[in-house]
């Protein structure tokens, strides 16, 4: 089938999309099938396809979209990262995505506040603030992906609420557009402030809320939740508190209103100092009741976080995998912060041990003081919910009773009740959460497509919520929001009268029920719109993959993201031709696979779809390459003439001439004249090292270590292959260079699975006799390790598995080597070296060794750069497949390298080297880890001689 068919543009027949395009311009409006599929989900159990998506870029866009929606009576749903668990960022009308509004507008270090746009990711905000020693306190576990707009609208909080409170405690003011299209500054106005009077006149809805809160102060006080956290209903309690102190505290009203009262374009946030140091501790209790006794004592140490995971949760995530003792009945994770360097956390650790001494612990308390180890302790907790997706192919973790709050000292009692209840239902359940606040996340595993399980879900929804309200005097919602899932319970939680006030508030701001209808206040059943199809799939829709997807980083649009692509390619109505623009946009960087807690490989799904439409031109090139001699001769000709064709004016000409041919690779493909191409080798690596290279496959070679050099090291004159060989020799190894074909990565990205398999078969035979297979290229490393996935169960799979075990990247080889050849500083001066971690090497599990090697080099000051683990945008041939996007992806990497102050950036992959050399100026040298080693060994030799 022809693969150069034109890109299918978004359908233009839809009326709403057309109107919006006329209003806002076509770039900001999308209503094609794949986009609507991607935006039909968030991290909840629901699915509602919208009719159009607007990617707003300014306040004018927000006001215009609201005005349009109101004039036509079309539901309008604001959306940030779409990680809410309640269905509040999906809707049947227009989705207004604020992701492009993602700047920090102002930071006041002295007064400790920041003015930010709603599309900024929490982790990104804190990364930027960390340079000033500041941070935003509330920390939902989804902090790597969730955005400030969603956090504010949901009144999010997280493990550190104990110390920093929820979002509502940390917002100074908001800028909001109301359904009248007027803008307000929502801050705390003293009742005597003349500006307030003007505001109340301009926005009658605000006066309505003021009057209503004053008039019903007693009712509001009587219904105030008595637990430490609540995000259920509108926060008239906070407004009433303000009025009692003489201020009309508007942030209290809008924070937690879930996009139902207005759309936020800015938030001014209160910041806190980053702690000077932190201690993280893990305690495994043998007895659940003892947890209940220990918690109040531990709270006297004023921990900043105190988290619990019950026995079921520990079973479900796998005790052995996480080193959790078999007899642990519950695990506590706690954190103690020191605000100054004078506070001794070791003393705190001793105090913790003393508190725990009377209790039966299943193992020694684990203490971690350094950032990396602490992060490790948190890892399982933070990814808990999506990790549960791995447990069973049918029974999935379902969020429908996920966020209850009870008095903190009754949490063990709650856990006992829940274990009993779900035990009687024979339903596996994970119970974890913020024990210090009494906030429990309850996630039963159910197959909602099974009638019995569905009924159990409905029963649990009623029973658990009623018990929390009636027996524990708790709240049904601590931090995740009401959304669609708890909307039907809000009246039960607060009673008819207060619910009536909430309805009045909503009507005052949104008389036509345009803004996020069905959210917070609704009598629709929580089972409406459940996405039964998706709940049988492997993806938790948590969006963790979006946080590392380089394409999402550039486009900030769900249809151009890893999570969105999962939805698109697994949709019932998927078709390659309609989805080609998205299916071909993935870089195959594998960052999503590396990070996904549920074990989903989106890139592989995309490769499978490409395999249904292999690219013809690429197939022709790769077949020629597989034939060997002809292709090598062609590359020789290119190498010997490079001086001629690689001149600027010839390159411009070449870009024009090759244009139509490149279009056969992808509509966006070209050979950009300004792309710095690697120098081609006049004598290929195999020719230069003919004494190591064998032409035929050897059955019983004399050498035990083989070097899989791959294509780049063979054809490019970049010094990488020579460095790998020299480094191996220094370690006493003379490697063999057996006959080899392309490992398959680039071939796979163009859909030619059969060719990949053919090449793999050849390599399997050729490399089988060797004990160790050393690589220098990240992609070759991963592909060789992935060979077993190419073959069904059987002999070939076994051979592939055996080969995969023998593959080591040169940095691993050196880090593990018992030899320690002398090294010396090259050039006498100290180099500041940073490391770009190639995506495929990360996916192959090699992250520490290159850093270890670099840190060991004399005269090297190794500095870790921010975003070291993010894709640089080269991704093999992606740089020619979509040069413009590739360049945009690189911008973040270039910023990080510059900020690191490094004069050398090291990496482990020749393809990344091309991208780095192309995007960086001459002030920063680009080197392979093996080359830096080679230099250090040579310098030592020079000294000796
Ligand atoms: C694995 C995982 C762990 C989680 N852990 C936590 C946790 O520890 N604590 C916690 O509180 N939550 C948690 N959540 C839920 C969720 O991540 C948070 O509520 C988060 O703050 C939502 O942010 P978002 O950017 O994804 O918002 P979205 O999901 O996009 O939107 C959330 C709400 O905000 C509204 N909204 C978005 N932008 C605007 C705007 N500009 N103006 C007005 N309304 C707007 C939307 O309409 C919607 O109602 C978790 C979710 C997952 C998947
Ligand atoms: S693919 Fe994995 S990381 Fe991405 S949304 Fe699905 S479960 Fe989350
Ligand atoms: S492979 Fe890379 S570009 Fe493709 S979906 Fe995953 S993270 Fe995104």
Output the CA 560–ligand 3 centroid distance in Å: 10
Q: What pLDDT does 1 receive?
A: 34
The reply to whether ligand 3 has any atom less than 6 angstroms from the CB of 602 is yes
At residue 123, does pLDDT exceed 80?
yes
Output the CA 437–ligand 1 centroid distance in Å: 20
Distant-in-sequence contacts of 190-197, Cβ < 8 A, 24+ apart: 190/246, 190/247, 191/243, 191/246, 191/247, 191/248, 192/246, 196/248
Question: What is the four-CA torsion angle of 575, 579, 584, 586, rounded to 10 degrees?
Answer: -110
Q: Which atom of ligand 1 is nearest to the CA of 143?
A: 17
Q: What pLDDT does 455 receive?
A: 96
Secondary structure (H, E, C), 284-326 = EECCHHHHHHHHHHHHCCCCCEEEEEEHHHHHHHCCCCCCCCC
Q: What pLDDT does 20 receive?
A: 96
At residue 298, does pLDDT exceed 50?
yes
473 within 8 A of 191, measured Cβ to Cβ: no
For residue 266, which of 112, 108, 152, 124 has the smallest C-alpha distance?
152
Ligand 2, atom 8, lies closest to the CA of 542
Q: Residue count of the chain, please give it.
A: 945
Least confident among 26-30, 230-234, 370-374, 542-546: 370-374
Whole-number Å distance between alpha carbons of 353 and 347: 10
Burial class (CB in 10 A: 0-12, 13-18, 19+), 820: exposed
> 687-746, pLDDT tens digit by residue?
999 999 988 777 777 889 999 999 999 999 989 999 999 999 999 999 999 999 999 998
> 485-536, pLDDT tens digit by residue?
999 999 999 999 999 999 999 999 999 999 999 999 999 999 999 999 989 8
> 243-267, pLDDT tens digit by residue?
999 999 999 999 999 999 999 999 9
φ, ψ of residue 18 to 5 degrees: the values are: -60, -45
Mean pLDDT for the stretch of residues 752-777: 95
- Helix axis angle for 616-626 and 753-767, nearest 10°, is 20
> 789-823, pLDDT tens digit by residue?
999 999 999 999 999 999 999 999 999 999 999 99
For residue 506, which of 234, 241, 186, 202 has the smallest C-alpha distance?
234
Half-sphere exposure of 179 (CA within 13 A, CB side): 27
| CA 434 to the chain's CA centroid | 22
Q: What pLDDT does 8 receive?
A: 38
At residue 155, does pLDDT exceed 90?
yes
> Which band of pLDDT confidence, cut at 50, 70 and 90, is reported for residue 629?
low
Which residue is it, tokens 């350094």? 370
| Ligand whose nearest atom lies closest to the CA of 543 | 2
Whole-number Å distance between alpha carbons of 713 and 729: 17
Q: What pLDDT does 481 receive?
A: 94
Number of other CB atoms surrounding residue 467 within 10 Å: 17
Ligand 3, atom 4, lies closest to the CA of 586
Ligand 1, atom 36, lies closest to the CA of 150
Number of other CB atoms surrounding residue 659 within 10 Å: 12
At residue 643, does pLDDT exceed 70?
yes
Whole-number Å distance between alpha carbons of 264 and 98: 9
831-835/904-907 β-pairing: parallel
Whole-number Å distance between alpha carbons of 851 and 469: 53
Q: What is the DSSP string of 450-500?
A: SHHHHHHHHHHHHHHHHHHHHTS--BS-SSS--TTTTGGGHHHHHHHHHHH
Burial class (CB in 10 A: 0-12, 13-18, 19+), 793: exposed
> Which band of pLDDT confidence, cut at 50, 70 and 90, is reported for residue 879?
confident
Q: What pLDDT does 690 receive?
A: 94
At residue 159, does pLDDT exceed 60?
yes
Ligand 3, atom 6, lies closest to the CA of 592
- Which two structure tokens, joined as six digits, stand for 330? 């519950």
The reply to whether ligand 3 has any atom less than 6 angstroms from the CB of 565 is yes
Whole-number Å distance between alpha carbons of 350 and 248: 46
Distances (CA, A) of 32 to 13, 533, 711: 10, 21, 39
CA atoms 697, 702, 708, 709: torsion sign: negative
At residue 11, does pLDDT exceed 50?
no
- Which two structure tokens, joined as six digits, stand for 432? 């974890």
Q: What pLDDT does 117 receive?
A: 98
Angle subtended at Cα 79 by Cα 154 and Cα 51, rounded to the nearest 5 degrees: 140
113-116/183-190 β-pairing: unpaired
The reply to whether ligand 3 has any atom less than 6 angstroms from the CB of 896 is no
Q: Which atom of ligand 1 is nearest to the CA of 147?
A: 25
98 within 8 A of 164, measured Cβ to Cβ: no
> 593-627, pLDDT tens digit by residue?
999 989 999 999 999 999 999 888 888 888 877 77
Q: pTM of the entire structure?
A: 0.93
Ligand 3, atom 2, lies closest to the CA of 589
Least confident among 146-155, 254-263, 365-374, 501-510: 365-374
The reply to whether ligand 1 has any atom less than 6 angstroms from the CB of 263 is yes
| Ligand whose nearest atom lies closest to the CA of 585 | 3
Whole-number Å distance between alpha carbons of 363 and 327: 9
pLDDT-above-70 percentage for the chain:
98
Distant-in-sequence contacts of 681-684, Cβ < 8 A, 24+ apart: 681/639, 681/714, 681/715, 681/716, 681/717, 682/636, 682/639, 682/640, 682/717, 684/632, 684/635, 684/636, 684/714, 684/715
Q: What pLDDT does 389 receive?
A: 85
Q: Which atom of ligand 3 is nearest to the CA of 839?
A: 2
Q: What pLDDT does 506 receive?
A: 97
Q: Which atom of ligand 2 is nearest to the CA of 389?
A: 7
Output the CA 83–ligand 1 centroid distance in Å: 5
Whole-number Å distance between alpha carbons of 565 and 550: 13
φ, ψ of residue 72 to 5 degrees: the values are: -105, 0
The reply to whether ligand 3 has any atom less than 6 angstroms from the CB of 749 is no
Half-sphere exposure of 892 (CA within 13 A, CB side): 23
Whole-number Å distance between alpha carbons of 256 and 174: 12
Q: What is the DSSP string of 637-695?
A: HHHHHHHHHTSHHHHHHHHHHHHHHHHTT-TT----TTS-PPPBPSS-HHHHTTTTB-S
- Mean pLDDT over the full length of the chain: 92
Q: What pLDDT does 699 receive?
A: 77
- Which two structure tokens, joined as six digits, stand for 868? 């070291």
Contact residues for 769 (Cβ-Cβ < 8 A; gap 6+): 698, 699, 700, 701
Whole-number Å distance between alpha carbons of 693 and 696: 9
Ligand 1 pocket: which of 91, 153, 254, 547 to mutate (most atoms <8 Å of CB)?
153
Q: Which helix (H) or strand (E) holds 242?
A: helix 236-244
Q: Which helix (H) or strand (E) holds 810?
A: helix 810-816
| Ligand whose nearest atom lies closest to the CA of 140 | 1
94-97/76-79 β-pairing: parallel
Ligand 2, atom 4, lies closest to the CA of 545
End-to-end Cα spacing for the chain: 63
Whole-number Å distance between alpha carbons of 798 and 928: 33
| Ligand whose nearest atom lies closest to the CA of 548 | 3
Q: What pLDDT does 628 receive?
A: 65
φ, ψ of residue 807 to 5 degrees: the values are: -80, 125
Mean pLDDT for the stretch of residues 153-175: 94
The reply to whether ligand 3 has any atom less than 6 angstroms from the CB of 872 is no
> Which band of pLDDT confidence, cut at 50, 70 and 90, is reported for residue 6?
very low
Q: What pLDDT does 169 receive?
A: 96
DSSP 3-state of 908: coil
Least confident among 50-54, 421-425, 916-920: 916-920
Output the CA 146–ligand 1 centroid distance in Å: 6
CA atoms 57, 61, 63, 66: torsion sign: negative
At residue 556, does pLDDT exceed 60?
yes
Ligand 3, atom 5, lies closest to the CA of 562
Q: What pLDDT does 661 receive?
A: 87
Mean pLDDT for the stretch of residues 164-184: 95
> Which band of pLDDT confidence, cut at 50, 70 and 90, is reported for residue 227?
very high
Residues with CB under 6 A from ligand 2: 386, 539-545, 562-563, 566, 592, 596, 598, 600, 602
894 within 8 A of 918, measured Cβ to Cβ: no
């Amino acid at each position: 089938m022809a693969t150069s068919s034109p890109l299918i543009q978004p359908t233009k027949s839809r009326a709403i999309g057309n109107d919006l395009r006329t209003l806002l311009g076509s770039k900001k409006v999308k209503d094609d099938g794949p986009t609507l599929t991607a935006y039909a989900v968030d991290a909840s159990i629901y699915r509602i396809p919208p009719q159009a998506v607007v990617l707003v870029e300014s306040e004018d866009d927000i006001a215009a979209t609201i005005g349009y929606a109101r004039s036509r009576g079309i539901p309008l749903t604001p959306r940030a990262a779409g990680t809410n668990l309640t269905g509040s960022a999906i809707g049947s009308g227009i989705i207004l995505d604020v992701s492009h509004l993602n700047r920090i507008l102002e930071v006041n270090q002295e007064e400790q506040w920041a003015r930010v746009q709603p599309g900024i990711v929490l982790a990104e905000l804190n990364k930027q603030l960390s340079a000033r020693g500041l941070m935003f306190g509330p920390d939902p576990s989804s902090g790597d992906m969730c955005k400030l707009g969603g956090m504010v609208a949901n009144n999010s909080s997280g493990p550190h609420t104990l110390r920093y409170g929820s979002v509502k405690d940390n917002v100074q003011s908001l800028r909001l557009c109301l359904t009248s299209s007027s803008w307000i500054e929502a801050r705390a106005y003293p009742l005597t402030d003349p500006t307030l009077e003007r505001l109340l006149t301009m926005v009658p809805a605000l006066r309505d809320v003021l009057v209503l809160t004053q008039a019903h102060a007693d009712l509001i006080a009587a219904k105030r939740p008595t637990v430490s956290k609540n995000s259920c209903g509108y926060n008239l309690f906070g407004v009433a508190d303000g009025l009692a102190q003489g201020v009309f505290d508007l942030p209290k009203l809008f924070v937690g209103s879930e996009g139902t009262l207005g759309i936020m374009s800015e938030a001014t946030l209160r910041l806190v100092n980053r702690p000077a140091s932190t201690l993280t501790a893990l305690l495994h209790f043998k007895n659940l009741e003892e947890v209940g006794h220990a918690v109040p004592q531990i709270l006297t140490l004023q921990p900043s976080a105190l988290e619990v995971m019950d026995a079921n949760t520990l079973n479900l995530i796998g005790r052995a995998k996480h080193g959790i003792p078999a007899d642990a009945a519950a695990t506590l994770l706690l954190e103690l912060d020191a605000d100054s360097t004078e506070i001794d956390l070791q003393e705190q650790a001793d105090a913790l041990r003393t508190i725990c001494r009377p209790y039966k612990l299943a193992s020694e308390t684990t203490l971690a003081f350094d950032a990396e180890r602490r992060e490790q302790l948190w890892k399982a907790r933070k990814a808990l919910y999506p990790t549960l997706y791995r447990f069973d192919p049918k029974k999935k973790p379902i969020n429908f009773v996920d966020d209850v709050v009870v008095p903190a000292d009754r949490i063990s009692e709650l856990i006992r009740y829940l274990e009993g209840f779900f035990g009687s239902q024979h339903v596996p359940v994970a119970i974890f959460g913020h024990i210090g606040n009494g906030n429990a996340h309850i996630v039963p595993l159910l197959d909602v497509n099974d009638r019995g399980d569905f009924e159990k879900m409905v029963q649990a929804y009623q029973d658990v919520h009623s018990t929390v309200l009636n027996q524990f005097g708790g709240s049904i919602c601590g931090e995740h929001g009401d959304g669609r899932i708890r909307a039907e319970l809000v009246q039960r939680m607060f009673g008819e009268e207060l619910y009536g006030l909430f309805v009045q508030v909503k009507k005052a701001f949104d008389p036509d029920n345009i803004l996020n209808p069905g959210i917070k206040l609704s009598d629709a059943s929580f089972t409406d719109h459940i996405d039964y199809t998706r709940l049988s799939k492997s993806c938790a829709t948590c969006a963790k993959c979006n946080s590392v997807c380089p394409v999402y980083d550039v486009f900030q649009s769900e249809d151009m993201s890893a999570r969105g692509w999962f939805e698109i390619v697994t949709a019932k109505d998927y078709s390659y031709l309609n989805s080609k623009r998205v299916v071909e946009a993935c870089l195959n960087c594998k960052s999503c696979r590396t990070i996904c807690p549920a074990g989903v490989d989106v890139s592989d799904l995309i490769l499978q779809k490409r395999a249904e439409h292999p690219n013809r031109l690429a197939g022709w090139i790769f077949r020629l390459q597989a034939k060997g001699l002809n292709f090598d001769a062609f590359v020789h000709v290119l190498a010997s003439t490079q001086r001629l064709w690689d001149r600027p004016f010839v390159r411009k000409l070449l870009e024009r001439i090759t244009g139509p041919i490149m279009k056969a690779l992808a509509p966006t493909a070209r050979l950009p004249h300004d792309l710095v191409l690697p120098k081609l080798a006049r004598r290929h690596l195999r020719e230069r090292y003919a004494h190591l290279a064998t032409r035929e496959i050897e059955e019983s070679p004399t050498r035990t270590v083989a070097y899989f050099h791959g294509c780049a090291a063979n054809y490019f004159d970049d010094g990488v292959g020579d460095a790998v060989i020299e480094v191996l020799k220094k370690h006493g190894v003379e490697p063999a260079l057996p006959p080899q074909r392309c490992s398959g990565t680039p071939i796979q990205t163009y859909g030619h699975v059969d060719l990949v398999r053919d090449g793999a078969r050849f390599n399997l035979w050729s490399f089988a006799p060797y004990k160790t297979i050393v690589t220098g290229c990240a992609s070759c490393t991963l592909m060789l390790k992935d060979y077993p996935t190419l073959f069904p169960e059987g002999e070939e799979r076994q051979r592939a598995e055996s080969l995969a075990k023998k593959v080591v990247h040169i940095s691993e080889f050196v880090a593990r080597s018992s030899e320690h050849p002398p090294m010396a500083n090259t050039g006498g001066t100290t180099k500041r070296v940073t490391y770009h971690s190639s995506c495929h090497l990360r996916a192959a599990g090699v992250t520490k060794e290159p850093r270890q090697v670099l840190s060991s080099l004399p005269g090297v000051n190794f500095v870790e750069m921010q975003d070291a683990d993010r894709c640089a945008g080269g991704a093999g041939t992606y740089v020619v497949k979509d040069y413009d996007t590739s360049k945009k992806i690189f911008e973040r990497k270039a910023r990080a390298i510059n900020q690191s102050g490094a004069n050398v950036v090291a990496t482990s992959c020749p393809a990344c080297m091309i991208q780095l050399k192309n995007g960086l100026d001459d002030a920063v040298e680009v080197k392979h880890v093996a080359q830096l080693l080679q230099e250090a060994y040579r310098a030592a030799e020079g000294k000796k001689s």
